[in-house]
A and B are shown apart, each in its own frame.
Chain A
Amino acid sequence: MVHVCTVVPISLTVGANRIVPAVAIPHPLGNPALTPEEEKKLRRKIVEKALTALQTEVDDQTVFERDY
């Protein structure tokens, strides 16, 4: 499982092992300030990051770097 979430410290506290930081609390996988096309691209990047996290071996709680 990968946890895509905005408030990473909470995810760390509750014990998620693969954590992918999201954009904002009311729109974790989107950004209404962007055009719909750009927004979907952003969402795609986050989902791709989540898939990378799922395919990465970790031995402890790991926060994957945000590059979007």
Chain B
Amino acid sequence: MSEIKVVHYINQFFAGIGGEEKADVKPELREGTVGPGMALEAVFKDDAKIVATVICGDSYYNENIESATAEILEMVKQSKPDLFIAGPAFNAGRYGVACGSVCKAVKDELNIPVVTAMYPENPGADLFKKDLIIVETGNSAATMRKAAPLLAGVALKLAHGEELAGPEEEGYIPRGIRKNVFLEETGARRAVDMLVKKINGESFKTEYPMPEFDRVPPNPAVKDMSKAKLALVTSGGIVPKGNPDHIESSSASKYGKYDLEGFDVLTSESHETAHGGYDPVYANLDPNRVLPLDVVRDMVKEGKIGSLHRYHYATVGNGTSVANAKKYAASLSKDLIADGVSAVILTST
């Protein structure tokens, strides 16, 4: 294979233009390597060559993301590269966002392999780790000596179309992708092995790391429920009889929005549960046990609750991925806010 042509993206600081006072410099294309590109080329040997370096001020990029991305894309196109590398950005937030954003644009527009590198807590990592291979670095440029060979190595593999091994072996930030593999030992055996190690105080590695959950600051209290519009939402799978949206009994791919108009109580004739993760007998006999419509209707009549939102929302919380659950919540809360709902009771089984 002939020499791989690389375009490298760096910021004003690593180009030696200046620090914060020069962070507003516009994108610029220079031939050959600049700054950290030299450390990459040392690893490339004769396999690849940095034909051009794009430089852009971090503030300029972040304040003009759309136009700056377009300008940079044009510059990259001119050089007709086979591979695009950005950074490393270490823990520089705006630089990390720029590296991620430019890489994604190049990948989407030019359809060539792209790779960047940064510290896992760089906000650019969180934003782009699902879309890109981001080689993990330390938090400062002092770790360049370690970061450059790793980045260059992964870059070459990508350019050669080689399949990357897992994030741990290759040194990139996990993208949240799970692959099926065959192992000698059964899951039961491996689980017991892990447990024994745990009991013995030995180190072991989980096969299913828990996702990192968000924390949100609590909303202020509802001032007066007798004036509030309340909505009922459930992950317990309460749907109209027959499950019209075919919400899956596990790993639900959707949620449903259902009209409660005309129902004072839920009954076994009108509603049921679509949930496959608990014994459905009690919920099917009396769906109010999961979605307390009967009590809420009473309390609206008594004036203790201002009003009940006309629709309830339901999904099945059974093996549902956090990413999907988050998506449903984002979508239905938009709906609720638009409809003037001021309080929500979410029930889970």
Contact = CB atoms under 8 A, between A and B. Distances in A.
Partners in one complex: yes
Interface of A: 1-7, 10-11, 13-18, 22, 25-30, 32, 39-40, 43-44, 46-47, 50-51, 54-62
B213 A26 contact: no
9 contacts: A2-B343, A3-B346, A3-B348, A5-B346, A16-B346, A25-B278, A28-B348, A54-B345, A55-B222
B214 A30 contact: no
Contacts of B217: 17
B304 interface: yes
Interface in B52-86: none
B292 interface: yes
Interface residues of B, number: 44
Contact of A17 (B219, B225, B299, B343): B219
A5 B214 contact: no
Contacts, number: 120
Given A27-B283, A43-B295, A47-B292, A58 B214 contact: no
Interface string B257-286: 000000000000000000000111111011
A48 to B, nearest CB: 8
A44 B346 contact: no
Given A29-B288, A47-B299, A22 B347 contact: yes
Interface of B: 210, 213-225, 228, 236, 278-283, 285-286, 288-292, 294-296, 298-299, 304-305, 322, 343-349
Contacts of B228: 54
A14 B292 contact: no
B283 to A, nearest CB: 6
Contacts of B219: 1, 17
Contacts of A5: 346-349
Nearest 4 Cβ contacts at the A-B interface: A30-B289, A17-B218, A5-B348, A27-B289
